[in-house]
Structure 1
């Protein structure tokens, strides 16, 4: 007689089974967050909570919380092999209870850790996790989600408003910090974004973090929307509300590093668990943070599942991946002797490269119409190239080179701009090497760099006129657009997370006029296909005159795909009027003035100008045809033809 088959233990739907452990150990359990953490469950007819945590080098693990008076001997967890996941079912635990894991290290020391997979956390300065149920969120954004599947960022407008929710707007005079809840913020930001004409918001500081001054870039709760602004249900309401109003949502996401806070991921089970064990690979000397170990399948799984968690569970439309360069280079921010070379002797982090290819393939492969955006500050090749062609697989890349050249040029006294003319044209020499977003982000208006308006030379009118010309050039240049909050109306002070924007400035005319200018630029961008549909195609852009350095004037054309509605931009970056200005044009057509910075509503003189200009056969800018237009000081004119 044959041997009896051994009975396999029946695994309940919420429990960690052998397959879960296998996939997690391979780095491919993309829904691991449905099993790990704290989940409401029923066992033998009793309601309770099932806990699961990865602590491979722990001697013992217990779950402690309000349900057992924080007694570390009350609820020890069972170790599941082979990957070292600890689990237990606690019938006394209920939704809303605070909890932590008490981990006994190999040395016998007890450490108390927040749950890496927690979906909700205690409001700082508290550091405990909170049991919550996010399985029954109410979604009413089906139309948006269906349309997202066929959305193509390469052919669509994308103008992003970068926002820190806690300091965008606050309730005045409240005894607490006055934060808007997610629900309040949803309604206020939607109204503003629709009026202005942005297509997306990019939200900073959403994943739970202990220190406000980190702006959310030192995360302890990767799976928890911060409790500063409300509950997970409130967060889902915000996404829903924005989607129903046709506004896309991008989150900042930080897979590069995490803080040393004792309740967080650092030395999680008493050993380097989530980080590299070698301090030369596992620590950022400048930032004082830990670096994820991208060579561990479980760590890769933690991060990739987290990206999918935000996009699939919370319906987020994309992630802006922070500090990509710090992940790609082993010597990033390090001196000689502070870093370890790869197996070939180079400074590339081969494991991080493989991680990005895996991450982007899975996220974008499963979620058509979503975007993965790299904040990558070097000339690393093929950041937006496909993994099949040895690219990293991102959808878009922040154009930090353009941003640097643009801001340095704009800071110059107009008298000296003629010697730096190339700084505004150079980006076109590499504009099609990646799929770019032009960014003027929060990083440019902190740490004594000045707000955008105070980067501008001159006083009063000159500052505002300079910035209006700069914004028009940015909007006309190929690439998606991003502007940090407050810069659209000329915030004077540098940004601080400790206060709301200086909305009171909008009682003053120059700030109203700048806001109106940027609003009308955004609507022009969104309304005209020539501004975006050939962003990644050289056919979409044509210089008329890139070499008028002496007068610091730039003229160029944005072409639509069908050639029916093209736009001619003329931007004057000096305070010198050009009453006899002549511009060469591609065709002998009529040119309709559709945007004029000299309009009185934008702070101009309001001189009456004709709407239609007819090109004549007169050579200018190396073209057969041209027309004359009186170009004001710092004047911008946009013509449709």
Structure 2
């Protein structure tokens, strides 16, 4: 059976589209042969970063750039007084459209600034080389330039050959710049010293690092990339980023990079737009080359040179910086010519009509194949809201090859529940459906909220639940009802999201302890303030505040998930759902999770069907240490009872369920 046939066999609803699926598979296979010539591996093909750009080899500098529309190209910079010098003029190379120059080693020095001056028919412009590995911004003029980077001592890895353990990812999403408490841009080194230990202590096993690729506008959160091979210099040096990855590996943490291949910044001087004077060198020409919602440029994934650039970019970050995989940003925008804007995906037809960019689909498939060819243990995650079938299915099974996809609709649904339903009308049946509705053959990662929900203009869950009272009423001894409700529901929402997750879980830094403020990077509209581009860690450490209680609960929740091994085992099995009681219970790998969402009603001797056995309470969201009321005994043991009903015999637990409380019961043994 061919791989594409395996995909169809997994889902009978795909049968009407079998011919389209076969054709796409044939196209991807033919594209790989075209790129590799059938005589090299995909990994060998994706080594453009060792050919293009600036390299010091055999005591001479070699620089190459692809600019097919150029008529003349010069290196200009500190070494030329920023003027055109015939001795720094590039000449055409053997490869079509490629320009090159060779210089003695003493003509360029460490930290020299440089750029290209490119002439094309009817015009010219200064450009930062497309393959450059280091870009810095002048603090006074704010101009960006490429920088020669050849430190005397290359970084020596302390943990070479790190392999990501085969375990469900518990992801801590982070942004180095705003990870510090001070009102400034944080550094890689500060992150290692101050934040990395927190992540390890909290029990997470994976870091998802945002804003790595250089971006001219800090407030873009790193999603308007200008220089794809350059690690953002605003956070430190390349060696300091390597030290961050290395230190994380030393702590047993996998490090994923937020990879942006869905679009590029529209800036011309800093980025790739009109690099050689044309608008179609790297991107689609005309309207198709511009994203109407992001004001950015859109790659032409059908061009071999663009695929060479992007595939080499994937390999570069694995080879050079030791990243363990990628979260691919903006997959929906890549896959469809409408970019998912104002689009509801309601039928399978949406995945097979002429809105699908099959070149982008082929690129993603080859990117995943390449990444796993280089690193078998690498992790790839798709950020997609469309639900494209086969996205997180192995290539050999007919899929695109991502290891995981984000269950992005869950976070949006929690917002809807909080906004549209009063507490007594929360639709538990629909909540259960939204939390567990996923393609059985594909692995997913769930989250209650990510950085998206914490941005200015939106609200984090804790702020939606508590509002302005979060600023003055979070003391443990303050009985404010709004805070009491918000703290209780915040814990329950996060626990049920993790406990029902398919194969992984994500949290954005600070959300675990209910960070009280949104994220707002310095920009003209806020007078370039850093007041909200930071994380107030002291709140999580203050013993008299409920922020610490929330952080402690999150730590216990993560530990409980590990103890129960819930993400590596079977799907959750619903045990009980009572809409008017607002009680939901389910079992997963020997643990029983019970949630009483009722805003006012506690229950005594509440019966819930459960597998026979002896159970111990291992997590109680109402514990005083977690900001609750302490209405239950810690570590209480429970024994199932048996009864015969008109529907047949059943075993059940009889529990005290305080209002707005969640319990996790660990089955110690089967009932003899």
Normalising TM by the smaller chain, what interval? 0.7 to 0.9
Query: Counterpart of 1:128 in 2: which secondary structure?
Result: strand
Match of 1:235 among 220, 241, 244: 241
Are 1:319 and 2:336 counterparts?
A: no
Can you list the C-alpha shifts for 1:10-64, whole angstroms capped at 9, x where unaligned?
xxxxxxxxx999999x99621211221111234xxxx442211111111111111
Give 2:365's aligned residue. 357
The alpha carbon displacement at 1:472 in A equals 1.1
Match of 2:190 among 184, 190, 215: 184
The alpha carbon displacement at 1:354 in A equals 0.8
Are 1:100 and 2:115 counterparts?
A: yes
Give 2:46's aligned residue. 30
Match of 2:91 among 57, 78, 88: 78
Can you list the C-alpha shifts for 1:527-569, whole angstroms capped at 9, x where unaligned?
332x1212xxxx4421112x3111222111111xxxxxx1110
8 Å contact 1:119–1:223 — kept in the other structure?
A: yes
Give 1:10's aligned residue. none
Give 1:164's aligned residue. 175
Match of 2:578 among 548, 554, 561: 548
Query: Counterpart of 2:658 in 1: which secondary structure?
Result: coil
Are 1:500 and 2:534 counterparts?
A: yes
Q: For residues 372-451 of structure 1, what are the structure 2 equivalents within 5 Å?
A: 372-411=380-419, 413-419=421-427, 421-439=429-447, 440-451=449-460
8 Å contact 2:176–2:187 — kept in the other structure?
A: no
Q: Partners of 1:585 and 1:256 in 2: how far apart?
A: 48
8 Å contact 2:340–2:386 — kept in the other structure?
A: no
Give 1:52's aligned residue. 64
Are 1:454 and 2:468 counterparts?
A: no
8 Å contact 1:239–1:316 — kept in the other structure?
A: yes
8 Å contact 1:48–1:94 — kept in the other structure?
A: no
Give 2:616's aligned residue. 592
Give 1:260's aligned residue. 266
The alpha carbon displacement at 1:222 in A equals 0.8
The two structures, once aligned, show a CA RMSD in angstroms of 2.7
Can you list the C-alpha shifts for 1:581-634, whole angstroms capped at 9, x where unaligned?
424344321011111112110122223526110101036998701121111111
Give 1:532's aligned residue. 567
8 Å contact 1:409–1:424 — kept in the other structure?
A: no
Can you list the C-alpha shifts for 1:282-337, whole angstroms capped at 9, x where unaligned?
1111211110110111111111111111112211011110000001001226699x
Q: Partners of 1:116 and 1:259 in 2: how far apart?
A: 13
Q: Partners of 1:442 and 1:119 in 2: how far apart?
A: 27
The alpha carbon displacement at 1:216 in A equals 0.6
Query: Counterpart of 1:523 in 2: which secondary structure?
Result: helix
Are 1:483 and 2:507 counterparts?
A: yes
Give 2:587's aligned residue. 557
8 Å contact 1:324–1:374 — kept in the other structure?
A: yes
Match of 2:606 among 562, 582, 600: 582
8 Å contact 2:424–2:598 — kept in the other structure?
A: no
Deviates more, 1:403-412 or 1:187-196: 403-412
8 Å contact 2:618–2:665 — kept in the other structure?
A: yes
The alpha carbon displacement at 1:442 in A equals 0.7
Give 1:11's aligned residue. none
8 Å contact 1:372–1:395 — kept in the other structure?
A: yes
Match of 2:655 among 626, 629, 632: 629
The alpha carbon displacement at 1:169 in A equals 0.7
Q: Partners of 2:621 and 2:175 in 1: how far apart?
A: 30
Q: Partners of 2:136 and 2:38 in 1: how far apart?
A: 32
8 Å contact 2:178–2:186 — kept in the other structure?
A: no
8 Å contact 1:100–1:113 — kept in the other structure?
A: yes
Q: For residues 324-363 of structure 1, what are the structure 2 equivalents within 5 Å?
A: 324-332=331-339, 346-363=354-371
Structure richer in helix, relative to its length? 2
Match of 2:664 among 619, 638, 641: 638
Q: Partners of 1:434 and 1:605 in 2: how far apart?
A: 40
Measured at CA, do residues 161 and 68 of structure 1 come closer, stay the same or move farther in structure 2, by a change above 3 Å?
A: same
Measured at CA, do residues 27 and 212 of structure 1 come closer, stay the same or move farther in structure 2, by a change above 3 Å?
A: same
Measured at CA, do residues 130 and 292 of structure 1 come closer, stay the same or move farther in structure 2, by a change above 3 Å?
A: same
Q: Partners of 2:619 and 2:611 in 1: how far apart?
A: 20
Measured at CA, do residues 21 and 82 of structure 1 come closer, stay the same or move farther in structure 2, by a change above 3 Å?
A: farther
The alpha carbon displacement at 1:171 in A equals 4.1
8 Å contact 2:180–2:190 — kept in the other structure?
A: no
